[in-house]
Amino acid sequence: MQVIVPPIKSQGIKTKLVPWIQLLVPDVKGRWIEPFFGTGVVAFNSGFSQALLNDINPHIIRFYQAIKDRDITPESVREYLERESKLLAEANDKGYAHFRLVKDRFNKQHDPLDFLFLSRAGFNGMMRFNKKGEWNIPFCQKPERFSKSYITKIVNQVNKVACLIQPEWIFTAESFEQTILKARSNDIIYCDPPYIGRYVDYFSGWTEADELRLFSLLSETPAKFILSTWHHNDYRENKFIHSLWSKFNIVTRDHFYHGGGKIENRKSIVEALVFNFEANIEKHNAYVQPKPEQMVLFEQRSEYIKRKLRRG
Ligand SMILES: C[S@@+](CC[C@H](N)C(=O)[O-])C[C@H]1O[C@@H](n2cnc3c(N)ncnc32)[C@H](O)[C@@H]1O
């Protein structure tokens, strides 16, 4: 499966796990519902024509809504990045002076194009906001960051997501509870909340109370759901797997997780998918090769997504 990569970056991005997640998606006729949208990589590879896409971070939602409304187009992105890249390359302090200017401008005006700039010029493709909700990632320290080929890569990514965003994709910036409550029996909810006990910032605070609320909403939803969470690492287990989520089906898989300041957070963690429907679990569990007929289903789904992309 060729994974479509979105133009926004973040440390929690699920790019590498998309094929594994999509393999589990059941055949439903309703909407793709994503209460914790993030960069959007999972939804963009879902192939659904109807979707409810939500994140509490309004900058993410404003950016994709602007693409949907054609307020941001591949052409406007190219024009913006070409202009800003020149200013960055010429700026004092090895480009930092201009990075600071864009950061300060974004923190006052919240322009989605400045958000894109910061996401792509920040250190290590990270997204973090301080206690006041201001952008809080330093410059990647490359004044020539936006080379011609890098700009073209970003423009192509914007173009791809612009083609994928359907008229019936609804974007909202609310807390996850409201979004989950909108789900109906023929929908699939994919939940990727901040991993409990791991990483926190202004938009990604996540407490035990949040985890419990999520559990109770997902326990009661008439829809099917898939939840991404972590299972264990070399140091500890996610205690909520045992106390809450083991009531549902669970599959696991190793994943190297880059984010987080603590050393233990940089180690390999075992990813889990929790879900409330029947599936052949064997094929998803770590180190188990998919069986041929399951591969066929997987390829059919990839073909379907590719066809949708070609049609635009
Ligand atoms: C792990 S990230 C999602 C990553 C996404 N699946 C991807 O691949 O890019 C979690 C997201 O949840 C959002 N979030 C945190 N608390 C939330 C809440 N209470 N309601 C809705 N979204 C929330 C964060 O802003 C963040 O974008």
Per-residue pLDDT of the chain (312 residues; tens, 9 = 90+): 899 999 999 988 999 999 999 999 999 999 999 999 999 999 999 999 999 999 999 999 999 999 999 999 999 999 999 999 999 999 999 999 999 999 999 999 999 999 999 999 999 999 999 999 999 999 999 999 999 999 999 999 999 999 999 999 999 999 999 999 999 999 999 999 998 776 678 788 899 999 999 999 999 999 999 999 999 988 899 999 999 999 999 999 876 555 544 544 556 889 999 999 998 776 666 534 343 444 445 555 666 666 666 665
87 and 135 share one domain: yes
299 and 223 share one domain: yes
pLDDT per residue as tens digits for the range 16-60: 999 999 999 999 999 999 999 999 999 999 999 999 999 999 999
Q: E strands of the chain, at which residues?
A: 32-34, 51-54, 169-172, 188-191, 224-233, 249-256, 268-275
Is the C-beta atom of 122 inside 6 A of ligand 1?
A: no
pLDDT recorded at residue 50: 98
Residue 41, CA distances (Å) to 24, 45, 211 in order: 16, 6, 23
Tokens of 277: 């429907």
* Domain-embedded: residue 69: no
* Domain-embedded: residue 68: no
The domain boundary residue, chosen from 162, 188, 218? 162
* Domain-embedded: residue 122: yes
Give the domain extent around 253.
15-56+174-311
* Domain-embedded: residue 235: yes
Residue 42, CA distances (Å) to 3, 189, 222 in order: 9, 12, 22
CA of 204 to the centre of ligand 1 (A): 6
Nearest CA to ligand 1 atom 13: 36
Is the C-beta atom of 41 inside 6 A of ligand 1?
A: yes
The domain boundary residue, chosen from 133, 162, 191? 162
pLDDT recorded at residue 234: 86
Sign of CA dihedral 233, 236, 242, 244: negative
91 and 226 share one domain: no
Is the C-beta atom of 201 inside 6 A of ligand 1?
A: no
Distance of alpha carbon 147 from its chain centroid, rounded? Answer: 25
180 and 281 share one domain: yes
For residues 231 and 233, give the distance between their C-alpha atoms in angstroms, rounded to a whole number: 7
pLDDT recorded at residue 290: 41
* Domain-embedded: residue 6: no
* Domain-embedded: residue 38: yes
Q: Which residues contact 217 (CB under 8 A, 6 or more apart)?
A: 176, 177, 180, 181
The amino acid present at 127, given as its one-letter code, is M
Helix then strand count (H, E) for the chain reads 12, 7
Is the C-beta atom of 56 inside 6 A of ligand 1?
A: yes
52 and 184 share one domain: yes
Nearest CA to ligand 1 atom 3: 38
CA of 195 to the centre of ligand 1 (A): 9
pLDDT recorded at residue 291: 38
CATH number at residue 246: 3.40.50.150
Secondary structure (3-state) at 214: helix
156 and 192 share one domain: no
274 and 139 share one domain: no
180 and 301 share one domain: yes
Is the C-beta atom of 57 inside 6 A of ligand 1?
A: yes
Total tally of structural domains belonging to the chain: 2
CA of 83 to the centre of ligand 1 (A): 31
150 and 286 share one domain: no
Nearest CA to ligand 1 atom 15: 204
The domain boundary residue, chosen from 162, 186, 207? 162
